[in-house]
Amino acid sequence: MYVIGNRGWGLGIGVLLLLGSEAQAQGVLRGTVRDTQGVPVRGASVVVPGTTLSARTGLDGRYRVANVPAGLVRVHAAAIGYARVDTTVAIPLGDSTTVEFTLSFAPLSLPPVDVISGKVPHFGDRPATSVTQVTERDLDRRAVSTVDEAIDHAPGVQFVNGQVNLRGSTGYVQGLNSRVLMTVDGVPMNQGDRGGINWDLLAVDDIESVEILKGAGSSLYGSAAFGGVVNLTTRDVPSGVHARVRLTGGMYADPPHAIWRFRDRAGLHGSADFSASYGNEVLGGRISAGDRHSEGYREQDQQDHLHFAGKGRWQLAPNTRVDLSGSWAVDRYDVPLSWCSRGECDDRGQVFQPFKVDTTELGARTDSRKGYLAAQVRQTVSPKLVWVARGSWLRTHFVDVRRSTTEFGVGNRFGAEARVEAHPEPSRTVVVGAEATFADVDSDIFGTHSQSEFAAYGQSDQRVGPLRVSGGARLDFMAVDGGSLTAFVSPRVGLTLPTDRREGDGGLLRASVGRGFRSPTMAERFVRTVALGFQIVPNPTLRPETAWSFEIGHISAPLLRFMRLDAALFWTEARDLIEPQVLLIPPDTVVIQLQNVVRARIAGVDASVIAAPIPERLIATLGYTFLATRRSLAGDSTHGPLAFRPRHLLTLGADYRLGVFGVGADVRFASRPERIELEGFVDERRVPVRVLDLRGSWRHGPVEIRVLAANVLNYIYNLVPETLAPVRTITVTGVWSH
């Protein structure tokens, strides 16, 4: 595996030295991708296999691929929900060729994998690890209002009070870490200080699709990708003038029991988003702004959110593109830290009041500001070589206002990366790159600290007959506060094997094994605050978490012509997991400290089924994840399950479309977690999750109206101790697109 990675470096540098020799014998491929009704298909991939050349269609379905080698060239076009089309085109020397693609609707076709594998060399095939995609169409039909809602229903994904779990990776530690990396257009966006994810960094209306890479991704993405990667792809800037307005309004259900009532009328929420863009073949820009207000579904749960985002593209040369993007979001939200237990409020004779808060926390709120700037240059040097360079800056700022104290934190994360993608031979691809990250924090609870990370990575894919073998590794060096460097090696190997001859749409076996790690965040090392009435003390000696992950999976060919199954067995052996521990300091002081105390195993099955019994009208999906977790403490022979991991996670969905109308439903079930953290110190009450969402839509020309009734049965549940999950929420959304 290391040999493959090292060869990749050599090959990449070698190919780099051959720049330009092929630049003369090239042409341009352009055209439009439409469906069988003649409607432009947005976001379709047009790929020249065996090369670095590819393009995505814009809003008008148009694409343009430069630097295509002259002569006969094989080209394919693919889009989610459509059958892939392959063709061979004659490209004249120094001229452009127009190729029009017509894609037929095929809901069972495998979606093209591009963005999440932007770092992963591929041949247009599925990668060796599990990938789930949430498309723009999914976002639209589900009528969600926030990015985390958009991801929450994907198979194997569960949000636990804002923290994302891919196959049970993260668990839950309030705001102090994430074992999942979020990237925006490939740029890492986990907070510099706490390592967490700001899901409100971007409005859902700015998102075109989401790709979720499950399993350890450290071999390419480094520390935070211990449990996987979630990539948000923002909307591209199409040619011409475009605008979009999105308005939402809705209400929260009252508590289902009169004794839980806490206000005289239903809580309301609403938002307004606007975006506009202009682009031509050389330049393009998009701006968006939005505001959201919610009265919340609980006492002291008001939220205000304001955001701005922008994106620009500049086709500097036919083969060179510059992208700039950024966002700024301001939030102010009340903090219902925990629900009211008996005696902590006017409990009306109840053991607990889930809609009310402890009166000692009345007035608690958080003011939060966060934003990022990112720039990327991508140059297609030749059909065999692309280089990419990017820089980014993420800034987060929060002030927690509590009755007893006020806490603040300012974190920065600066990142830079350079990468070379090469196709030295049609049957081989190579990616090599280097990445540097500097993060700092200034906070009264985390102190003033910094963390530097430097990494080099390489990965190569090789076709051997029907097999595709990939191997690579990443070497990370880290230093805290300018101290000594600590090194980590994260290797990974994988292979895929087609199980029938239908290229691109047939069955596929996949297997992979890789090592992941996660460096403790500065917040985990240095936090000093009070929570649950206990002092939390720092632990600067925390060690990184490490894990080996194994996976074997299979995507079936279409079964009975109307369904497809994707299933994977996964197994992760982790060491030094970081969990909060309660310590007794004699004679009678109890404190909480984050410690490396756990060896853990997360194993299970992740399966999804998509069925289209009535093509173009009825689509049904099923996702099921079985988790078997085990945790053992250092020096203790007893075992138990990991906290906040439900053993069963089930999602069901169905959508029916008839003309301009559509209806759909989602069901989400999660079994009751067997264990929570800090047992004995918090209310351990918890129940399974059983939530039903219903939705409907009407579309006419540029206008679309959607109605979403989330948690329509008003099922009352909690995912973490003493924190009520959302009640029934009705949302009406109107979208106008030009």
Partner 1 sequence: MLWLCLAVVAGCSGDLEPEPICAPTLVGVCGTLRFRGAIPDSTDNVFIAAYATFPQTCNDLINNRQPFIPSSVPYTDSVAPYSVELSPGTYEWVVAVWKKVGNLTLSPADTALLRVAGYYRAFIDTMSPGQVTVPTGAYAGDIDFFVDFDNLRPATDFVTCT
Give the nearest distance from C-beta 682 to partner 1 in angstroms.
8
Closest to partner 1 by CB, 444 or 683: 683
Contact of 509 with 211, CB cutoff 8 Å: no
Residue 521's contacts (CB-CB under 8 Å, 6 or more residues apart) are: 176, 177, 191, 193, 194, 195
Question: What 3-state class would DSSP assign to 27?
Answer: strand
In the bound complex, what is the minimum distance in angstroms from residue 340's beta carbon to partner 1? 13
Nearest to 716 by CA among 676, 693, 689, 694: 689
How far apart are CB 735 and partner 1 at their closest, in Å? 26
Of the pair 247, 618, the CB lying nearest partner 1 is at: 618
If the CB atoms of residues 306 and 654 are measured against partner 1, the closer one turns out to be 654
Q: Which residues bind partner 1 (CB under 8 A)?
A: 257, 259-260, 341-343, 349-352, 354, 620, 652-654, 665, 667, 669, 679-681, 683-685, 687-688, 690-692, 713, 715-718, 724
| Residues facing 723 on adjacent strands | 720
Amino acid identity at 75 = V
Report the b/e string of 351-362 with b at 16+ CB within 10 A.
Answer: ebbbbbbbeebe
Minimum CB separation of residue 342 from partner 1 in Å reads 6
**Closest CB 132 distance from partner 1, rounded Å:** 20
CB of 210 to partner 1, least distance (A): 23
| Beta carbon of residue 256, minimum distance to partner 1 (angstroms, whole number) | 8
- Residue 8 main-chain phi, psi, to 5 deg: -60, -45
The residues pairing with 377 across neighbouring beta strands, listed in sequence order, are 322, 389
141/419 with CB nearer partner 1: 141
The amino acid sitting at 4 is I
Which CB, 342 or 403, lies closer to partner 1? 342
**Please, which residue, 387 or 717, has the CB nearer to partner 1?**
717
User: In the bound complex, what is the minimum distance in angstroms from residue 725's beta carbon to partner 1?
Assistant: 10
Q: Tell the residue number behind the tokens 């005289």, with chain if given.
A: 264
**Between the CA of residue 418 and those of 193, 639, 690, what are the distances in Å?**
24, 44, 45
Dihedral angle over CA of 91, 96, 97, 98, nearest 10: 160
Name which of 350 and 632 has its Cβ closer to partner 1: 350
C-beta closer to partner 1: residue 480 or 620 = 620
Q: How many CB atoms lie within 10 A of CB 447?
A: 18
Label residues 269-302 b or e (16+ Cβ within 10 Å = b). Answer: bbbebbbebbbeeeebebebbbebebbbbbbbbb
| Min separation Cβ 652 and partner 1, Å | 5
Please identify, using beta-carbon distances, which residue of 343 and 465 lies nearer to partner 1.
343
CA 65 to chain centre: 28
Nearer Cβ to partner 1, position 101 or 339? 339
Nearest to 655 by CA among 64, 141, 104, 209: 141
Min dist CB 150 to partner 1, Å, is 20
Q: Provide the pairing of β-strand 26-35 with 96-98.
A: parallel
